[in-house]
Amino acid sequence: MAASAAAPRIVIENCSIATVDADDTEYASGHIVVAGNRIESVGPGRAPENLENVVRRVDGTGHLATPGLVNTHHHFYQWITRGLATDHNLFDWLVALYPTWARIDEQMAYSAAQGSLAMMARGGVTTAMDHHYVFPKGSGDLSGAIIRAASEMGVRFTLARGSMDRSEKDGGLPPDFAVETLEGALAATEETIDAHHDASFDAMTQIAVAPCSPFSVSTELLKQGAELARRKGVRLHTHGSETVEEEKFCHELFGMGPTDYFESTGWLGEDVWMAHCVHMNDSDIEAFARTKTGVAHCPSSNARLAAGIARVPDMLKAGVPVGLGVDGTASNESGELHTELRNALLVNRLNPVHREAALNARQALRLGTYGGARVLGRASQIGSLEPGKLADLVLWKLDTLAHASIADPVAALVLGAAAPVTLSLVGGEPVVENGRLLRADEDAIARSTRDEAQRLARIAAQA
């Protein structure tokens, strides 16, 4: 449905523009016209004259406009367990943190979601996601609280309704009290889809089915979770091939590596995206490419947990859809996606196989925008600046000390310091102006998240 002639228009002019369209079209100085919640036009020079119903004109001099950033993997609740187990690998870190995580309640989940969302929105994220898989008994409506926080912040949102049903007594990693039953997890996931999933073009909330990982869920939960997602027409998300320990676990328990195990449970396909995918051999990458299974690349978290370097250049070459994720902030305390553009480029160049040919700045920007939209199943709606798409865009300020002398604006954004956001729009609605959130009080969120982190630590210490 095109915007009608009467839709209010926002005109942005005089900025550099990286559209991230299929041809990587860029303008050294161009314009964007937003009509209602859609992009009406993008092009070089000034906007067409005599546009009707212009409610706002933005002078973008000194700025770069890009599509809004799309985060494809996160765990919001971890915002209140940052800075713990800082010298651990994945399995030791999980075992250290599960007992604390299993004490979260609705107020903590809401507050942590606000913190995670505020940090990302302030840094240019217009589509967020949360993979939430900790649902302690009697903890209230955690999914509802998280969705409410995203809706209040004004960002587009995918809640990946996670679950765990393989605890220590079944050879899994989480403690017995931290998991749901198979039936309970499936029923609650279906309820969440029915209550909140919106399949429309301009949806603000979508739900995915997201059992946590091979070492915390049963084979049956993976199989029935995939059937549920396909029956409901929603996407599937999980963690995969994150560490050598996970690979060993899969071989010991299932007699095969993670990718073969996922394929045997119905978990490869163009409606699936997986976080990490660090330990992939050539045939694993070929299987992802053949099935168009997506990847959420999380370079900072992979480095923090010493997991390794995902083979992103090989995945892209093979045609695997790849987006970027911050991962939970218990393994990436910064929680900002724009810094992941830089880290994706730098970390992949450290892989001795690829070196300087690994990724360039434009590929990094594409991972964080169009690539993310693709793995979330929303590439026709967001992820690039093109007429007819939703008006999710960011105006990055590049004319101050940090960036003014960098020759190329895309290199400035990707390789330079984290650039401030002068304006971000989600569906044509402003969410950030001049570096500040418009719909949330950052200082109040800082206080409430500190209080909730302390309350959780006290409860966990008493348990």
Interface contacts to Zn ion, rule CB under 5 A: 275, 327
Give the residue with the Cβ less far from Zn ion, 25 or 89: 89
For residues 157 and 426, give the distance between their C-alpha atoms in angstroms, rounded to a whole number.
11
Size (the chain), residues: 463
Query: What is the smallest separation between the CB atom of 218 and Zn ion, expressed in angstroms?
Result: 19
Query: What is the smallest separation between the CB atom of 402 and Zn ion, expressed in angstroms?
Result: 30
Query: What is the smallest separation between the CB atom of 239 and Zn ion, expressed in angstroms?
Result: 5
DSSP label of 370: I
Query: What is the smallest separation between the CB atom of 60 and Zn ion, expressed in angstroms?
Result: 35
Query: What is the smallest separation between the CB atom of 98 and Zn ion, expressed in angstroms?
Result: 14
Strand pairing class (235-240; 272-276): parallel
Q: Which two tokens stand for residue 388?
A: 């007819």
For residues 315 and 263, give the distance between their C-alpha atoms in angstroms, rounded to a whole number.
17
- 334 CB contacts (<8 Å, ≥6 apart)? 119, 300, 326
For residues 299 and 450, give the distance between their C-alpha atoms in angstroms, rounded to a whole number.
26
Give the residue with the Cβ less far from Zn ion, 130 or 392: 130
Give the residue with the Cβ less far from Zn ion, 120 or 361: 120
- Sheet order of strands, 125-132 included: 69-70, 125-132, 156-163, 205-211, 235-240, 272-276, 294-297, 322-324
Residue 276 near residue 312 (C-beta atoms within 8 A) = no
For residues 204 and 196, give the distance between their C-alpha atoms in angstroms, rounded to a whole number.
10
Give the residue with the Cβ less far from Zn ion, 298 or 423: 298
Give the residue with the Cβ less far from Zn ion, 165 or 327: 327
Cα end-to-end distance, the chain, whole Å: 55
Query: What is the smallest separation between the CB atom of 277 and Zn ion, expressed in angstroms?
Result: 12
Give the residue with the Cβ less far from Zn ion, 206 or 216: 216
Exposed / middle / buried, residue 83 (Cβ in 10 Å: 0-12, 13-18, 19+): exposed
Query: What is the smallest separation between the CB atom of 327 and Zn ion, expressed in angstroms?
Result: 5
Which residue is closest to Zn ion by CB? Answer: 327
Q: What phi and psi values does residue 378 have, to the nearest 5 degrees?
A: -125, 25
Give the residue with the Cβ less far from Zn ion, 26 or 327: 327
Query: What is the smallest separation between the CB atom of 73 and Zn ion, expressed in angstroms?
Result: 6
Give the residue with the Cβ less far from Zn ion, 275 or 365: 275
Of residues 238, 130, 219, 137, the one with CA closest to residue 178: 137
